[in-house]
Amino acid sequence: MATSTFDAVIIGAGHNGLAAAVHLAKRGWSVGVFEANGEAGGAVKTRAVTLPGFRHDLAAMNLSMFAGSPFLREHGEGLGRHGLGFAPAAHCFASVFPDRTWFGVSKDPALTMARLNALDPGDAEAWDAMMQRFGKDAPHIFGLLGNAMPSWATAKVIWKAWRENGTAWTLDMLRFLTLPTRTWADMHFRNDKVKATLAAWGLHLDFPPDVSGGALFPYLESMTNQAFGMVIGQGGADTMIRALTGYLGELGGALHLDAPVAEVVHSAGSASGIRLADGRMITARKAVIANVTPRLLFGKMLPNGTGKPAVDAKFKAFRPGPGTMMVHLAMDGLPDWAAGAELKDFAYVHIAPDFAYMNRAYGEAMDGLLPGKPVLVVGQPTTVDPSRAPDGKHILWVQVRVLPKHVTGDAAGLIGETQWGAIKEAYADRVVSIIEQFAPGTREKILGRAVFSPDDLEEENPCLVGGDNLSGSHQLDQNFLFRPVAGYSRYKMPLERLYMCGAATWPGAGTGAGSGYLLGKMLGGS
C-alpha cells in the first residue's frame, strides 16, 4: 500500500479539526485531514433534506461563537476570500407560555427593557444591573474560555481579574461557576417567565434548572445576545465549513473525504500515524490530532490501548450527554404564534415554559422514557436569512431536548415501540402537536418533513453518541480541568505526538473553534 506523509495528520473534518489544520498550514506545516464521510463539517452541515430549494442546518445553526472567536479574528481575511458570510439576527431568542404571552431578548436594549418593565419593573432594573456587571465580567470569562486549561495564560487571566476587581469579586465569580440555573435566576429576577426564558439555555448544555454549574451558559447567552445579537450562516451554517476547507486548500492542506480511519498507529509510547480502513498507511512527522470523541479514539482507533490501561478506562468512561432529535420542516409560512406576531421575527423560540416542565422532561429522559412534553428549540432561520428557502417559503429547525438513547417506554403512555427507527415519526408528530398548541395552524403549513432520531444523528456523525450533540455532558465533573479527563485537559493524550480536539475537549461544545485553535497555537505557535 502507498504511504503518505504529513507534519500533522488530523482525524475528522469537523470545524475544530479544520481550524487546527488551517492554523498549522498557515504556520508552514504540511497537513492532511482524513474524514470518514463524503462531506466535511461534523455537526455543521446544511442540506436540502425536505424539498428542493429548502436548505436545512442538520445540527448546529447558531454561528455566534464563530463570528466572535479569536480564530476568526486571526484568519478571517482568508476565510472571507472563500465565501464566509453571516446573517445577523436582531431578535435573538424568546420563550412562549401557555397563557399566550411571551418574553424575548432583542439586540436593541430598549425593546428588551420594555418587555421586562411590562412583566416586572424590578426585573428591568436587575437586567440593567446585570448588563453593567457583564461589561466587567466578560473580559475575564472569555479570557478563561479562550485559553488552555490549565495554563499560565489562564493563571494570568485569574490574576488580572483579582487585581482589577478584588478578592470579593473573584470569590463571587468562582461561586457563580458552580451555581444551578434556578439559584442564579432566583438571585436576580422575580418573574417566573423571565427566569424560564433564561433557564431554557441550560438544556442546550445538559443543565436542567437544579444541576450545579448550569448558570454560566444562560448568563453568557443572554448577555451576549443582548450586547451583540445573534448570528447564523448566510445561506446555511455550512458557509463556515466551505470557507475553512477552501482556505485550507489555498494554504496547501489536503482534505481526504470518504477516508475512515481504522487505527492510530503507535509504538514505544508514541503515535506515528494512522491506518485507513482501506489499508493505506499515513505517517505523521510531528502530530496525530484526533478531532473525535474519547469513545471513538479509545474504544475503536486504539484497539490495543495506549499501554496505560487505567487512563484508557477513564477516557472510555467519558459520559455522553442526553440525546436529541432534529425535526426539519419545509413550510408554506412561519408559525402564527398565538402569543403575538412579533415572535415571527425571532431566530429561536423556546417551548420550555417553566422549571417544572424542564425538570420533568429531563427526568423522564434520564429514566429512559420518551418525555411526554419535551423541551423544544424552534429555530426560524428564514426570518433572518430568506435565501434558505424559495421566495415566500420558510423552514423550521426544531431541536427536541432531551431524549434517551435507549428507550424503555413513553411517559405519555401512547407509543409502545422502543426502537427509534419505529417510533421517530410518531414522536415527531408529538413535537408538531406541541408547536401547534402555541401556534395553531402550523401543521397545515408543513410542505415537507425530515426527522433525525438520536440513532440517525449518530449514524450521520459517530461523535454524536446517542444523539448527544455536545460530544459529552458539560456537567462539572466533565468540564474545565476535567474535560475530557483530569490530567489530559490540554489536548495531549497518553501517547506522545497524539492530541485530541473537538467538543469533547475544553472549552467544549459550540461553533467557536476554540479547541482546534488553541491546539493549533500550542503546536504551531501564535
Domain ranges of the chain: 3-38+257-318+473-524, 108-228
- Which residues does residue 113 pair with via DSSP β-bridges, in sequence order? none
Q: How far is CA 295 from CA 290, 314, 466, 515, in A?
A: 11, 10, 12, 18
365 near 482, Cβ under 8 Å? no
Q: How far is CA 504 from the centre of its chain?
A: 11
End-to-end Cα distance, the chain: 37
Query: What's the CATH fold of domain 3-38+257-318+473-524?
Result: FAD/NAD(P)-binding domain (3.50.50)
Task: Inform me whether the pLDDT recorded for 2 exceeds 70.
Answer: no
Mean pLDDT of 171-175: 94
15 near 516, Cβ under 8 Å? yes
Strands in 12-155 per DSSP E: 31-34, 46-47, 56-57, 86-89, 91-96, 102-106
Going by C-alpha positions, the residue among 221, 200, 219 that lies closest to residue 209 is 200
Interhelix angle 216-228/121-145, nearest 10 degrees:
100
Q: What is the pLDDT of residue 355?
A: 98
- Which residues does residue 342 pair with via DSSP β-bridges, in sequence order? none
Residue 301 is which amino acid? Answer: M
Q: What is the pLDDT of residue 469?
A: 93
d(CA 464, CA 44): 12
The pLDDT tens digits of the residues spanning 10-53 come to: 999 999 999 999 999 999 999 999 999 999 999 999 999 999 99
Residues 6+ away with beta carbon under 8 Å from 217: 201, 202, 204, 205, 207, 474
The pLDDT tens digits of the residues spanning 400-457 come to: 999 999 999 999 999 999 999 999 999 999 999 999 999 999 999 999 999 999 999 9
For 198, the grid coordinates are 433564561
Q: How far is CA 396 from CA 173, 336, 348, 373, 380, in A?
A: 37, 13, 10, 19, 5
Q: What is the pLDDT of residue 1?
A: 43
Residue 3: pLDDT band (50, 70, 90) is low
Give the β-pairing of 348-351 and 261-267.
unpaired
Q: What is the pLDDT of residue 268?
A: 96
Residue 159 phi/psi, 5° resolution? Answer: -60, -45
The pLDDT tens digits of the residues spanning 356-389 come to: 999 999 999 999 999 999 999 999 999 999 999 9
Task: Pick left, alpha or beta for residue 149 (phi over 0 → left; psi -120 to 50 → alpha; otherwise beta).
Answer: beta
The pLDDT tens digits of the residues spanning 228-237 come to: 999 999 999 9
Q: What is the pLDDT of residue 526?
A: 85
d(CA 396, CA 163): 47
Q: What is the pLDDT of residue 39?
A: 97
Instruction: Please give the mean pLDDT across all residues of the chain.
Output: 97
Going by C-alpha positions, the residue among 64, 109, 61, 82 that lies closest to residue 18 is 82
For 322, the grid coordinates are 442526553
Q: Between the ranges 3-7, 75-79, 135-139, where is the mean pLDDT highest?
A: 75-79
Q: What is the pLDDT of residue 427?
A: 98
Going by C-alpha positions, the residue among 360, 361, 395 that lies closest to residue 381 is 395
Percent of the chain with pLDDT over 70: 99
Other residues' Cβ atoms within 10 Å of the Cβ of residue 388: 25
The pLDDT tens digits of the residues spanning 65-121 come to: 999 999 999 999 999 999 999 999 999 999 999 999 999 999 999 999 999 999 999
For 283, the grid coordinates are 505517517
Q: Give the 3-state DSSP-derived string for 40-104, with helices as H, strands as E and coil as C.
A: CECCCCEECCCCCCCCEECCCCECHHHHCCHHHHHHHHHHHHCCCCEEEECEEEEEECCCCCEEE
